[in-house]
Amino acid sequence: MHIKQETDMRKTFAIISHPDAGKTTMTEKLLMFGNLIREAGTVKGKKSGKFATSDWMEIEKQRGISVTSSVMNFPYKDYKVNILDTPGHEDFSEDTYRTLTAVDSVVMIIDATKGIEAQTIKLFKVCKMRGIPIFTFINKLDREGREPFDLLDQIEEVLEIETYPMNWPVGMGKRFLGILDRYNNQFVKFNGNDPESYIPFDDLHSGDYQAITEDTTFKETEEEMSLLDEAGDQFNIEKVLKGDQTPVFFGSALAPFGVETFFDTFIDLAPTPKARKTTEGLIDPIQEQFSGFIFKIQANMNPAHRDRVAFLRVCSGKFERGMTVTLPRTGKSFKLNQTQQFVASSRDTVDEAYPGDIIGIYDPGVYRIGDTLLEGKQTFEYDEMPQFPPELFKRVTAKNVMKSKQFKKGLEQLVQEGAIQLFTTYPMENYIIGAVGELQYQVFEHRMKHEYNVDVVFESVGERIPRWLKDQQVDTTLFDDRNLLVKDREGDFLVLFKNDFALRWFTDKHEDIALIDLFEVNQYNQA
């Protein structure tokens, strides 16, 4: 019973966006609601030079950006909120993608002045693939942006998801008056720097608010809203929970405006932890015995301690510090004594945790990303961690050949952490590193130097389109630099195509060779 109560209180989600759409600003506002911070500007100030409280690694401090995903948790109303931060800069990694395997829902922030941007599409694809419910916040309404109908059309067309506007903006930029909150039947009035005020729809036309209701923009918006009521899609929570419809909220994270209404509605609607797929069928979160999986491994978060921390999502039962768990991959058992919960930069010891919670466990080098940990005699494993296609590729060597032993060790360990992927050319064995973003190379270079004492040299292979070969019996003579044949860590062949043209040229010429896009494979595995 206790486990069910605790599980039903958990709301575990991530905020995704293209850089500069306002993720940090939004996170900050949410942390203020949770009383975790009192002052805006403490999470990250790019210009002021203040660093994110979630910046752990030295490289993050040097650059003032957030590389690693962090986790923040706080109580809000009747709930316990876990926000998983995803790296917010242009350069994100597989970590960002993987974080999405550990959440129950996602908040997608879109800049109203820009609409959907490249990174939103990539992150959205992963959510869609996993059927994660997506709540959309269209930000920066205090600026002149694109028309709301255009923005909805774009979401529907580009992301192929039904939209349901939970509120509808009355003007924008200088003419911004507020939002008609369709879900809570109230007009939320924008008062500039003063707090917003709320007027129930029923009272709006009572005569007391003529200054508002007689405004031309307001009248036009009311008409638009009746159009939406008549012709738009119906709100459908089942569709939302399956990831087929996204509730859309308009507002401004900076003002802040509409953020509290958004968060209250989101918290009510967002799903609590549900049963998850395993090798032995679905496992209910409220079952007695503890289980969870590792979605991220991070080394040296605190340079003073050369530790590795594995991030574990609790999926069922109750976690207690000191408990003994089994790792089904190896059959070995461990006692989990050193555990942490993450609240921005401080790391508190955690004594117990419930489904939906994320805890950090000390990793003496035995865990891998995707590992399941189980209490008692259970034997199942959570669904395999999907592999995500890297986009950038570089050849890597040690500057000093005498250091090749450390080089290999470092390479192996960093690859195991999963921020980068390792490939070897064939038949000549050269190392190629693939990553989702450029920053991962800088992190890799920095860590090889500081943790393994090896200077590395990169040689760019450029942006490439990776396609795995379905049939591994390949004629190696068909490949050259434009369609580079390499092997992945499992020894499977894939081809790194130089561009779309090279890919098309190859597929036209070799229709009999089946190529697989990893996104498609993942989608297939999830179905």
**Chosen residue from 14, 16, 21, 398 binding ligand G4P by CB under 6 A:** 21
C-beta of residue 8 within 8 angstroms of C-beta of residue 272: yes
C-beta of residue 320 within 8 angstroms of C-beta of residue 352: yes
Q: Is there a binding annotation on residue 22?
A: yes
Could you give the C-alpha distances from 321 to 318, 334, 340, 350, 380, in angstroms and in order? 10, 12, 10, 7, 22
The burial class, CB within 10 Å (0-12 / 13-18 / 19+), for 15 is: buried
Complex with ligand G4P: residue 129 or 172, whichever CB lies closer = 172
Question: What is the C-alpha separation between 69 and 81, in angstroms, rounded?
Answer: 16
Stretch that binds ligand G4P, among 246-254, 303-311, 362-370, 412-420 (CB under 6 A): 246-254
In the Cβ-directed half-sphere of 162, how many Cα atoms lie within 13 Å?
15
Residue type at position 5: Q
Complex with ligand G4P: residue 140 or 313, whichever CB lies closer = 140
Complex with ligand G4P: residue 24 or 298, whichever CB lies closer = 24
Phi, psi of 299 (to 5 degrees): -95, 150
Complex with ligand G4P: residue 253 or 358, whichever CB lies closer = 253
4 touching ligand G4P, by CB under 6 A: no
What are the structure tokens assigned to 324, written together? 């003994």
What are the structure tokens assigned to 390, written together? 């890297």
**Chosen residue from 24, 120, 261, 340 binding ligand G4P by CB under 6 A:** 24
Complex with ligand G4P: residue 7 or 66, whichever CB lies closer = 66
23 touching ligand G4P, by CB under 6 A: yes
Question: What is the C-alpha separation between 180 and 169, in angstroms, rounded?
Answer: 6
Rounded to whole angstroms, the maximal C-alpha distance in the chain is 84
142 touching ligand G4P, by CB under 6 A: yes
CB 25 to ligand G4P: min, Å: 3
CB 417 to ligand G4P: min, Å: 24
- Residue-wise over 458-490: b if at least 16 C-beta within 10 A, else e? eeebeebbbbbbeeeeeeeeebeebbbbbbbee
Complex with ligand G4P: residue 88 or 466, whichever CB lies closer = 88
Question: What is the C-alpha separation between 462 and 30, in angstroms, rounded?
Answer: 39
Residues 6+ apart with CB under 8 A from 399: 454, 455, 456, 457
CB 115 to ligand G4P: min, Å: 15
Please choose, from the candidates 364, 298, 353, the residue with its C-alpha nearest in 3D space to the C-alpha of residue 322: 353
Question: What is the C-alpha separation between 400 and 219, in angstroms, rounded?
Answer: 72
**Chosen residue from 125, 143, 321, 446 binding ligand G4P by CB under 6 A:** 143
Q: Is there a binding annotation on residue 96?
A: no
By three-state DSSP, how is residue 465 classified?
A: strand
The mark string for 252-281 relative to ligand G4P (x by CB under 6 A, - otherwise) is: xxxx--------------------------
The mark string for 37-66 relative to ligand G4P (x by CB under 6 A, - otherwise) is: --------xxx-------------------
**Chosen residue from 17, 272, 291, 483 binding ligand G4P by CB under 6 A:** 17
Q: Is the peptide bond before 256 cis (omega within 30 degrees of 0)?
A: yes
Q: Is there a binding annotation on residue 139?
A: yes
Complex with ligand G4P: residue 12 or 252, whichever CB lies closer = 252
19 touching ligand G4P, by CB under 6 A: yes
20 touching ligand G4P, by CB under 6 A: yes
Complex with ligand G4P: residue 82 or 139, whichever CB lies closer = 139
CB 321 to ligand G4P: min, Å: 33
Residues 6+ apart with CB under 8 A from 122: none
30 touching ligand G4P, by CB under 6 A: no
Q: How many CB atoms lie within 10 A of CB 26?
A: 26
Q: Is there a binding annotation on residue 216?
A: no
Q: Ramachandran region of residue 203, left (φ > 0), alpha (ψ -120 to 50) or beta?
A: alpha
Q: Is there a binding annotation on residue 228?
A: no
Complex with ligand G4P: residue 186 or 252, whichever CB lies closer = 252
Pair type for strands 515-516 and 493-497:
unpaired
CB 95 to ligand G4P: min, Å: 16
Q: What is the DSSP letter of 102?
A: G
Residues 120-139 that bind ligand G4P (CB under 6 A): 139
CB 63 to ligand G4P: min, Å: 13
Q: Say how many residues touch ligand G4P, by CB under 6 A.
A: 20
Q: Is the peptide bond before 427 cis (omega within 30 degrees of 0)?
A: yes
Complex with ligand G4P: residue 140 or 464, whichever CB lies closer = 140
Binding-site residues, in ranges, read: 17-24, 85-89, 139-142
Give the residues lining the site for ligand G4P (CB under 6 A).
17, 19-25, 45-47, 88, 139-140, 142-143, 252-255
